[in-house]
Every structure is written in C-alpha cells, then in structure tokens.
Amino acid sequence: MSDASILICDDDSAIRTVVTQALRRAGHRVTAAATLAELRRELASARPDVLVTDVVLPDGNGLDFVATFTGENPDLPVIVLSAQNTLSTAVRATEAGAFDYLPKPFDLDVLTATVASALARGRRLVDDLPAAEEHAVALIGRSPAMQEVYRVIARVVSNELTVLITGESGTGKELVAQAIHDLGPRRRAPFVAINMAAIPRELIEAELFGHEKGAFTGAAARVAGKFEQASGGTLFLDEIGDMPMEAQTRLLRVLQSGEFTTVGGARVIRADVRIVAATNKDLMSQVVSGQFREDLFYRLNVVPIALPSLRERRQDIRLLARHFLDRAVEDGLPRKAVSDDAVAVLEAHDWPGNVRELENLMRRMAALHRDEWIGADAVRAMLGEGSGLAAPTRDAGIEAAVLTRLSRLAAEEPGVMEDGTLYDRIIGEVERPLIEAMLARHGHNQLRAARALGINRNTLRKRLDTLGIDVGGRQDDPA
C-alpha cells in the first residue's frame, strides 16, 4: 500500500471505474467524482496527493478549474486527461499548471506511471508559465505520434532548454520550432531561422555571428549576425547536420560560454537566444563517422523531438487535407472538398515529401481543379503528374511560391486562369529576379551575365527591355 490518495474526476463512468481499479492495483487509495461540483466537495473534505481530471465536464471546464486550483495549491500535482487532442489543449493544460497531460485514449500503465512520478516529485512540473494566449501556429494532427510531440512541446515552451528536432524533410520541423517560440516567454522577440545547407560553407560563421567592416573581401560594412538579430528571441538552426566542422567548434564555444565575437572583431557580445536546431540526417551516425562533434550533439540534443513521417500518421491525412483546402480559401480561392474515396487515395500514398508534399498537392487542387468536389480520380491524376514533386531536383519552395502566386492571381483577377496570359506573367516574374541576381553577381556586365545564364547577349538585352529592368546606364563592358 503506497498510502497515497488519488482523486479522479471524469464524467465517463467506464473511465472512472477502470482508472480506479488500476490505481488501486498500484496500491493507492482512490476517490472518484463525476462533476466539478462533486470534485469541489471532495477537495473540501480531504486533500488528495494527486488529482486526475478530465477537461470537458457536465458542469464546466476542467482546465479552467485546474488553472484556479493550482494557483491556490501549487504543491498538489494535477494530471489532465483530454479527448481534445490538439497542441493547444496540451499547452493550455501545462499553462494551467498541470503536472502532465494525457490524451485520450490513454494507456492505463502510462497513467499509473505518471501518477507515480507526480507522487515522487510532489509539485508542479512547470512554473512561471506565460498567461494562456491564443496562438497562430497551427500544428495539425491528432495521431498518437503527434500527441507525443505536443506533450514534449508543452513541456519545453516555458523553459530555455535546447531542443533538437529530427524528422524527414517536410515533416514540420520548422513549424514545431516556430510553435515553441510563439508559445513561450520569448514570443514577442524575433524568431530567426538560418539554414546551414543553403549558405556557402565559408559564409556560415559570418552569417551566424556577424562581421566587422573589412573582415573579408566584400565586407563593406559591419553586419549583425543571426545571433544578434535573434537577441531576446529564438534562433532556429536548420539542417544543423550540414554545419562545417569549424563552425561547429565555434558554435559549441558560444553555447558553453554564452558569448561570441563577430568575425574580424574583438568585441564580445552576450548571446541571448534560445536555440532550437533541426536536422533530417541521423546526427548520431554523423558523430560516429566524425562529421559532427559529439560534444555539440549532446549540447543540442537536450530535449529531442522526433517528428513522425506522414506515412507513420496516415490517420492525420484527412485533417491535414481539409486544413490546406481551408487555407486556400483564406487565400481567396473557391472552397473545395475532398470525397471519402479521394481521402482513401491520399491515405494510401506514401508521401516521400511528407506534409509539404500533401500541402502542395492540395494547393494545386485548390488552384486548378474545376469542380467543388475533389474525387479519387482527380487525386490519382494529380498525384501522377506531381510524382516528381518530392524529387530532390525539384525545389518545393519554388513550387509553393508559384502555387501561392497562382492562387493570389486567381483571387484578384477572375478569369485569369483561362485568359491565356499566365505563361508570360508567371515566367516573367521568375525571370526578373533571376536576371537581376546574375547581373548583380557579374558586376552588371551584361555579356558575362548572359554567358552565365546560357543565353545570347541580344536575348538578354531584349528581356531587360521587356521586363523594364533598370541597368543604370550600364552597357556590356568588354568581357
């Protein structure tokens, strides 16, 4: 007999019975309540060692009760059970001061273990949480795998622990990092992301720590690095597995000392950022092969969050598909709906590009499908056409940008999807930044820019004219 007393409140009598039996088997004394009123009566007559409560009760909301109750009884651990399996319930439960949150259906062994650890600690897990606030980050998914992700997020939002998010490309690593920022006390300061794979290796340190004027060829002025830009907020180190060794060493030093110096500078700056890192690589095997510093790995991997692939949470596909169609409506596209057999096709697909691939597909459907109802054949056809979507040579960012642009155009100009101008308009919009970038890279020398682009100099001149790109009076200097 543990001699601990547990009070359980749930309006479902089957849950009350099984929980009571399981906790009694574990040696505890158990009292049960079916409503908030009964719960209040029980609490007034005797103080339990742990309170376990449901959220939706016939006479009120369990979470509101927990928030007030834990404020007055900070030492009594509360475990919240809920069937509303969203990130916001997990976070609200933690914000309300709950010791832990268990999504329904839960495993009785897990509940028993959670009660045991609540008894061992005898206090709330999280202190000083920010006031509950509606947040913009929509992480969709109710699968058990996502529930686990929400629980970890809810536990880390209020502290400064470094988080390492792993998962295949497109599983939502950046979205999770953003959620951790948006829900935590640093949310009013910037969230700054840097992608190690997208920056030339030799520039990574300057990007991270900033550089002084003249630190290297081309450093015309002092530039603040991402650490400074994110000051007070969160720094998201994306694709951390691609970080070169020297930069890893420097990052480790910063994490150890909490200070850094800019490239070429003697100035010491205090690093005031929360670090969230992400990778789609197996960092541990990179450690083994000597490509990643072991000490840095352990510094980053304080709280690991492993995001499931979409294949591992197929039950979320329907919700996600609807979510992306709703988002398309917000972008001004007509409302579309997926039929059940279309959902079955979506659920059977393997999604190598994960949620990003599904998001792109739904955007394409919203922008291009003619009927309001999206059936199985339309999905099959679109999946067939888009089968190259996740191919490494195709940039999902460009795909998404083009589809977003198409959506906006469709919303702003009815008829544009049929009026025969789309090719020139969209290609023109992509062409302009491409040409401008190559001109800038080649010092506005048109001949060299044309060569680099692989087009004829006259073609380039014509395109500059048509697109109205200002060449600042420069012509093509001799190459």
Ligand X SMILES: Nc1ncnc2c1ncn2[C@@H]1O[C@H](COP(=O)(O)OP(=O)(O)OP(=O)(O)O)[C@@H](O)[C@H]1O
Task: Give the binding site for ligand X (CB under 6 A).
Answer: 138-141, 167, 169-175, 238, 280, 355-356, 359
Count other C-beta atoms under 10 Å from residue 369's C-beta: 18
Shortest spacing between CB 173 and ligand X, in angstroms: 3
Radius of gyration of the chain (CA): 27
Measured torsion, CA atoms of residues 450, 455, 458, 462, in degrees rounded to the nearest 10: -90
- Name residue 9's beta-bridge partners: 33, 53
Closer Cβ to ligand X, 32 or 139, answer by number: 139
Shortest spacing between CB 175 and ligand X, in angstroms: 4
Shortest spacing between CB 229 and ligand X, in angstroms: 20
Shortest spacing between CB 402 and ligand X, in angstroms: 14
- Name residue 223's beta-bridge partners: 211
Rounded CA-CA distance 239/272 in Å is 21
Shortest spacing between CB 235 and ligand X, in angstroms: 15
Which regions of 87-154 does DSSP assign to beta strands (E)?
100-103
CB 3 within 8 A of CB 26: no
Closer Cβ to ligand X, 48 or 172, answer by number: 172
CB 210 within 8 A of CB 228: yes
Closer Cβ to ligand X, 138 or 348, answer by number: 138
CB 4 within 8 A of CB 49: yes
Shortest spacing between CB 134 and ligand X, in angstroms: 17
Shortest spacing between CB 406 and ligand X, in angstroms: 16
What 3-state class would DSSP assign to 315? helix
Closer Cβ to ligand X, 93 or 320, answer by number: 320
Closer Cβ to ligand X, 9 or 317, answer by number: 317
User: Tokens 């001061």 appear where?
Assistant: 97
Shortest spacing between CB 138 and ligand X, in angstroms: 6
Which regions of 167-242 does DSSP assign to beta strands (E)?
191-195, 234-238
Shortest spacing between CB 331 and ligand X, in angstroms: 13
Closer Cβ to ligand X, 279 or 445, answer by number: 279
- Among 440, 441, 428, which Cα is nearest to 470's? 440
- HEC string of 33-88 equals ECCHHHHHHHHHHCCCCEEEEECEECCEEHHHHHHHHHHHCCCCCEEEEECCCCHH
Closer Cβ to ligand X, 11 or 331, answer by number: 331
- Whole-angstrom CA distances from 44 to 35, 48, 69, 70 are 14, 10, 12, 15
CB 15 within 8 A of CB 53: no
Helix axis angle, 144-156 to 173-183, nearest 10°:
40
Shortest spacing between CB 355 and ligand X, in angstroms: 4
Which regions of 131-254 does DSSP assign to beta strands (E)?
163-166, 191-195, 234-238
Rounded CA-CA distance 266/473 in Å is 41
Closer Cβ to ligand X, 78 or 275, answer by number: 275
Rounded CA-CA distance 345/318 in Å is 11
Closer Cβ to ligand X, 54 or 239, answer by number: 239
For 191-219, letters b (16+ CB in 10 Å) and e give bbbbebeebeeeebbbbbbbbbeebeeee
User: Tokens 């190259």 appear where?
Assistant: 388
Closer Cβ to ligand X, 181 or 463, answer by number: 181
Closer Cβ to ligand X, 360 or 445, answer by number: 360
Shortest spacing between CB 54 and ligand X, in angstroms: 25
Closer Cβ to ligand X, 170 or 225, answer by number: 170
Shortest spacing between CB 211 and ligand X, in angstroms: 26
Report the residue closest to ligand X, judged by CB.
172
